[in-house]
Each structure stands twice: as structure tokens, then as C-alpha cells.
Amino acid sequence: MELAYIPSPSSGVLYLGPVPLRGYAFCIIIGVFVAVWLGNKRWIARGGRAGTVADIAVWAVPFGLVGGRLYHVITDYQLYFSEGRDWVDAFKIWEGGLGIWGAIALGALGAWIGCRRRGIPLPAYADAIAPGIAIAQAIGRWGNWFNQELYGRETDLPWAVEITSSADGRMPGTYHPTFLYESLWCIGVALLVIWADRRFNLGHGRAFALYVAGYCAGRFWIEYMRVDEAHHILGLRLNNWTAVLVFLLAVLYIVLSARKRPGREAVVEPGAGDGEGPAADAKTADGKTTDGDATEKDASAEEASAEDAATDDATDTGDSGNPGKLDKPGKLDKPGKLDKSGKPEASAEPEAAEEPEESRDGAGSAKKA
């Protein structure tokens, strides 16, 4: 007798009046919003513009949904094209069935198109959204709970999931909740990527490759536990072989990329630091100044101009060297003529030397006579 288990919902559809809210689709939508929100924060932190992640997601998300559905239909074609099946069901995406491998592959194509239109390197964009994709998968896996699908072997563990449906060959009972295992694993992968990105300054697509490798490692053992129908090769499910191959490619990319292009991109979005974003107040990696340094330079230039103006004023006061003083009672030094540039013009005739006071008192009257 089971003392505890995770109950499955009696229905995967909730109705708001005449509007149906399907649990599977609802989880996918929430996951997309979380991925875009987190990706936007990481993109801005890397020096990009706000809103760029959402603009490119407009391309990536539809491509990803189509790719995920295509992978599922191709690898499980017997569910839609065998005898007694209706091929129209292949288009009913709300009933479940998205292959993550196809979703990432075709989603990357859509993201590449969006990045190319904005002049953004795809690896930098992929690094920013990698943790968000993992969290989106963690949320999306709960859609399988609504549909009572993708569970593992029978178990009596307290966290077993109860399957009540008998449709499509299901047997009611309690099973390993592989959807829950994968959800928790994806959250762990997201935290790993965030930590490693900060610790090792990952760039040029290596944060995304780490997400891929981490996910594949978990997907291998989780896939091994599943009991739903699947194609087998040499005793392993098809998705096990896919996980192994993609894991090796991701690790190889990390190694080769780190040797060829170490560090992180200095600029992820052209023109993003021109007066907006956090990059506007700091120097770029190539030594060029941004608006913050330009302001300091302008202030220094203004101070220098003020000093030059003070020097010019001192020069224009005359030869006495005491600007503002009277050389003779009631009279200021005669200002010299100004040349075209605005500076005092040198006098052609030397000024007469100032007469001593005695000659003014005595000899001055003789001169008048």
C-alpha cells in the first residue's frame, strides 16, 4: 500500500468559460517568458541593449517549436502514421510531444537569423540565454505531468507519480516521476552555468556548450529509466545515443574554443555602449573611452580654457604688470591696439619714460613758458 505519492491531475485542460487552458501549453509559455526575462538581464549585464533578447526570440521560439515537433514526429512516426492512427494528430502540439534536440537545433537557426539581422554574434547571444533555456525546460517538463506521460519504471517510493489514465497503452499505478527528475536536473544545470560563467568568464558560446553538456549528462540516465515506447539501437533508446553524441560534441567545442578564443567578447552588440547601458560609464576593453570619461575630459578642457583666458587678461592690462591699478591719478594705462586675432598689437614707438616728480613741480612751469 502506497503511503504517499504525487497525484496526477484528472484532466490536462482547465476551462475559463469557453476558453480552454491546456496545462502542457501553459507550461511551455511560462517557460518561454522566464527564459526571455533571465536572458535579457544577462544580455544587459554583458553590454547589450534591453529588448534585444525578446526581439531575437520572436525568431527563435517559433523555429524551436517547429523543430521540436518535427523531431518528435520523425522519431515516433508510428504514433501518427501506422495503421489505425490519424496523421492529423501530428499537428496537435498541445497534446504533448516536443523533442528538445530538434527544438534546440531549429531554434538556433531562428536565433541565427535574428542575430544576423541585428549584427550580433550568435555565440554571445547563446551564452546569455543558456541558463534561461534550462529553466524553461524545467518548467516545461511539468506539462508532461498534466498529460500523464514520460514516467519511469514502477516504484513505491513516496515521491512516485500516480498514473490514472489507461489511454495509449498506459497501465494505472505508481511510477518514477522522470519528468520531475529532469525538471530538478535542469534547474541544477542552470545554476551550474551561472556559476561557471561568473567564475571562468565564459564566452564565445562556451556557456551554452556547458548547458548542452550538462543537460545531456542528466538526460542519459533519466532516459534510461523511462518505459514509454521508443526505438532502440544496440539495447539503448535512441535518445540515449543522441545524448551521448551531443555531449561529446559540446565538450569538444568547449576545449577547442577555449584554446582558439579565450576570454569573453569585448562587444556583444554594436553601438550598445553609445550613451546607454552599463557600458557607457566604463572603458571598453580596447582602451577607448566612453561617455563617462568624455565628461571628465570636457571638464578638464573648460578649466584649461579658463586659465588661458586669465593669462590673456593679465597681458592686456599693459606693461605695468599690475592690472586694475592706476599709473597716473585718475587714468588707466592706455590700452594698446588690438590686431586681427584680438591680441594687443606691439607699439611701433616706445613709450616715454615717466618723469620724476621733481621735474613736474619745478621744471614743469619752465616748459610751459
Four-point Cα dihedral 55, 192, 64, 23, nearest 10: -100
The response to whether 206 counts as a known ligand-binding position is no
Q: Rounded CA gap, 337 and 99, in Å?
A: 88
Query: What distances in angstroms separate CA 156 from CA 2, 5, 160, 320, one per listed residue?
Result: 6, 8, 6, 107
Q: How far apart are CA 168 and CA 152, in angstroms?
A: 16
Helices (H), 226-290: 238-260
Which residue in 67, 73, 76, 66 sits closest to 238, CA to CA? 76
- Quote the cell numbers at residue 334: 592706455
CA dist list (Å): 298 to 78, 222, 277: 72, 61, 21
- Which residues are annotated as part of the binding site? 141
